[in-house]
């Protein structure tokens, strides 16, 4: 069951095109995995289209009203209706089913494992996927999404962890497969969460239970663990080099 969803305002802004490309990407990928949010997005689209149409009609009406009032001096009134928002209930959740045939272009391979990624993210999978291994149990593939952002597919093996860190900017995470916890919460397939400078955490996975996530950052992570702090200058340099080219 998906527990963490975009807020109602996030869905409205996503549909209206009022969010950053990075946030739009991760929201769309979540919607691929969550039938409830797909309904919410569809309803938001309907409401916004209806509002736009009403505004056009109102403008046309105002012009006609002024003309007719000058001729007949009649008073005309209008009424407005609203469409209620879709309820975000667990009954509407529908994660990606392993029983459905998945296009090979949506499959990530790692050490004999196969992972189906959301349709929105499939076009970002490199033609030749090269995983890099760090810290013993962490694998990652950098993804080019443009803008001043870095994105990765990250696989954390069972019993693995990411050293404690905080954030100079925003870290957005979508859980594609498996689950992890970080002292703040527990997250499973389909969950989308955002962390910023207010959060310090260390993601970990249970022994025997790996987790694949998609992550987007707009500033390098800042490691707080004593030995991991040595990574910070290199992390900053890597971030600057790979975002300055975009």
CATH number for the domain spanning 166: value is 2.60.120.10
Within a domain: 224: yes
The pLDDT value given to residue 77: 30
* Calpha distance 194→163 (Å, rounded): 18
Query: How much is the average pLDDT of 41-46?
Result: 92
Across-strand partners of 195? 171
Within a domain: 209: yes
Within a domain: 198: yes
Number of H helices, E strands in the chain: 5, 11
Within a domain: 62: no
Within a domain: 32: no
Strongest mean pLDDT among 54-58, 159-163, 210-214: 210-214
> With helix as H, strand as E and coil as C, how does 22-33 read?
HHHHHHHHHHHH
Of 111, 233, 213, the C-alpha closest to 162 is 213
How sure is the predictor about 233, in pLDDT bands with cuts at 50, 70 and 90?
Answer: confident
- First and final CA of the chain: distance in angstroms? 37
> For residue 173, what are the domain limits?
104-243
Within a domain: 127: yes
Residue 88 above 70 pLDDT? Answer: no
- For the chain, helix, strand, coil in percent to 5 are 35, 25, 40
How sure is the predictor about 225, in pLDDT bands with cuts at 50, 70 and 90?
Answer: confident
Could you tell me the CA-to-CA distances from 49 to 9, 23, 35, 98 in Å, in that order? 16, 22, 21, 35
Query: How much is the average pLDDT of 176-185?
Result: 96
Cβ neighbours of residue 169 under 8 Å, at least 6 residues apart? 196, 197, 217, 218, 219
Within a domain: 181: yes
Residue 30 above 60 pLDDT? Answer: yes
Within a domain: 202: yes
The pLDDT value given to residue 81: 22
More confident residue, 236 or 176: 176
What is the total count of domains within the chain? 1
């Amino acid at each position: 069951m998906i527990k963490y969803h975009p807020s109602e305002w996030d869905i409205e802004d996503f549909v209206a095109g009022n969010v950053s490309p990075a946030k739009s990407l991760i929201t769309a990928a979540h919607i691929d995995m969550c039938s409830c949010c797909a309904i919410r997005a569809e309803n938001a689209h309907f409401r916004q289209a209806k509002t736009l149409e009403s505004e056009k009609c109102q403008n046309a009406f105002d012009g006609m009203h002024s003309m007719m009032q000058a001729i007949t001096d009649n008073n005309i009134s209008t009424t407005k209706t609203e469409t209620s928002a879709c309820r975000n209930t667990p009954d509407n959740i529908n994660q990606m089913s392993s029983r459905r045939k998945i296009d090979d272009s949506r499959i990530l391979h790692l050490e004999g494992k196969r992972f189906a990624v959301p349709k929105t993210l499939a076009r970002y999978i490199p033609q030749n996927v090269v995983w890099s291994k760090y810290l013993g149990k962490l694998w990652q593939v950098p993804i080019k999404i443009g803008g001043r952002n870095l994105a990765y597919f990250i696989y954390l093996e069972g019993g693995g962890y990411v050293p404690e860190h905080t954030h100079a900017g925003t870290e957005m995470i979508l859980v594609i497969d498996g689950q992890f916890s970080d002292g703040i919460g527990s997250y499973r397939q389909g969950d989308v969460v955002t962390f910023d400078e207010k959060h310090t955490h260390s993601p970990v996975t249970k022994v025997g239970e790996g987790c694949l996530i998609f992550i987007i950052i707009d500033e390098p992570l800042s490691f707080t663990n004593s030995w991991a702090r040595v990574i910070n200058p290199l992390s900053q340099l890597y971030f600057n080099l790979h975002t300055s080219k975009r």
